[in-house]
């Protein structure tokens, strides 16, 4: 389907954990841990897809896998029409990853210097970067802070700089891993509005991992519910929950899974 920009087919990630010194008798015995199991997702162009799940569900692992940072153990995926494993460079050129990771910038450099560096890595020419950086700073509303060091930024400003970095190359798909983690309600709202008005409205596809029910409910067109490495359900928010709230639905899924064990 031409309009499908993210498609995964039984995407799976297993981590090998060596028992090591925690089990001195068998230090070389390995334990296989499945962080993501047989996940099938389809996200259409311009859609905001929410990946909802509690901590440890495997959201970050799945997101990083789709950004080429972690190699899948099995299964396959196409991102923006490119094969996730065989066409990594093309995949990377089509996406941006915005995470809640404050550590992904140089703290001693200014916001602008950080953006200049990452613009070069994105392959943006010097002239284009000189035009583009003020634009994205303005879009996320931190123009006045551009020449201050990143270490002086508030959590909200750091998050916005993360968004600005994602916007630099104006890619087709935005992966966001808990982009509102640690933000106050106002800053959270700012990010939510931004996703709707500046990304979705311009036809960008957003893949948003979150453990906030309200976030998924308010911002996303469709959600997938992940628990224990598996995609338990997905669909449009109102379809999924019917007369219930998403919270009830979420609880049901989690308690069902727990009973199964």
Partner 1 sequence: MLRKPLAFLKKDFLMEISYRFSFVLQFASIFFSVVLFYFVGQLLGEAPSVQRSISEYGGDYFSFVLIGIAFQNFLSVGLGSFSNNIRAEQMIGTLEAMLVSPTRLPTIVLSSSQWSFAFTSIRVGAYLLLGGLFFGVSFGGARVLPALTALVLTVVAFSSLGIISASFIMIFKKGDPIAWAISTSSTLLGGVYYPITILPDWLQIASYAFPITYALRAIRLSLLQGQGFSQVGGDLGALVIFSAITLPISLLIFRFAVRRAKRDGSLAYY
Ligand X SMILES: Nc1ncnc2c1ncn2[C@@H]1O[C@H](COP(=O)(O)OP(=O)(O)O)[C@@H](O)[C@H]1O
What are the structure tokens assigned to 158, written together?
């750091």
Our CB check for ligand X shows the closer of 14 and 87 to be 14
Query: Which residues contact ligand X (rule: CB under 6 A)?
Result: 15, 17, 33, 35, 53, 55-61
Contact of residue 57 among Mg ion, partner 1, ligand X, none (CB under 5-8 Å per partner type): ligand X
Contact of residue 118 among Mg ion, ligand X, partner 1, none (CB under 5-8 Å per partner type): partner 1
Question: What DSSP assignment string belongs to 25-50?
Answer: TSTT-EEEEEEEEEEEEEEETT-EEE
Our CB check for ligand X shows the closer of 17 and 251 to be 17
Contact of residue 105 among ligand X, Mg ion, partner 1, none (CB under 5-8 Å per partner type): partner 1
Where is 191: in which H helix or E strand?
A: helix 185-194
Our CB check for ligand X shows the closer of 58 and 162 to be 58
Q: What angle do CA 58, 61, 66 make, to 5 degrees?
A: 125
Pairing of strands 74-79, 82-83: antiparallel
Count Cβ neighbours within 10 Å for each residue of 148-178 and write b for 16 or more, e otherwise: eebeebeebbbbbbbbbbbbbbebbbbbbbb
Query: Which residues contact partner 1 (rule: CB under 8 A)?
Result: 13, 15-16, 61, 64, 67-71, 73, 89-90, 92-93, 95-97, 101-109, 113, 116-118, 120-123, 125-126, 165
114 near Mg ion, rule: CB under 5 A:
no
Binding positions for Mg ion, 13-72, rule CB under 5 A: 60
């Amino acid at each position: 389907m031409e309009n499908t920009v993210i498609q995964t087919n039984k995407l799976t990630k297993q981590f090998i954990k060596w028992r090591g010194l925690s089990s001195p008798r068998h230090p070389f015995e390995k334990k296989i841990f499945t962080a993501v199991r047989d996940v099938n997702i389809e996200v259409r162009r311009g859609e905001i897809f929410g990946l909802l799940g509690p901590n440890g569900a495997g959201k970050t692992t799945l997101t990083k896998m789709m950004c080429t940072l972690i190699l899948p153990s099995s299964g396959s995926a196409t991102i923006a029409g490119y094969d996730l494993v065989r066409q990594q460079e093309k995949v990377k050129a089509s996406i941006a990853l915005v995470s809640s990771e404050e550590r992904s910038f140089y703290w001693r450099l200014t916001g602008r210097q950080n953006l200049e560096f990452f613009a070069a890595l994105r392959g943006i020419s010097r002239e284009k970067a000189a035009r583009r950086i003020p634009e994205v700073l303005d879009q996320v509303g931190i123009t006045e802070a551009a020449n201050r060091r990143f270490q002086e930024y508030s959590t909200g400003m750091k998050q916005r700089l993360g968004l600005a970095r994602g916007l630099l190359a104006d890619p087709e798909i935005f992966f966001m891993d808990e982009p509102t983690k640690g933000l106050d309600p106002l800053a959270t709202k700012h990010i939510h509005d931004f996703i709707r008005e500046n990304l979705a409205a311009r036809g960008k596809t957003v893949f948003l991992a979150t453990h906030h029910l309200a976030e998924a409910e308010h911002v996303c067109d469709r959600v997938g519910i992940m628990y224990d490495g598996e995609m338990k359900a997905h669909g449009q928010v109102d379809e999924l929950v019917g007369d219930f709230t998403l919270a009830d639905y979420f609880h049901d899924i989690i308690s069902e899974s727990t009973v199964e064990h």
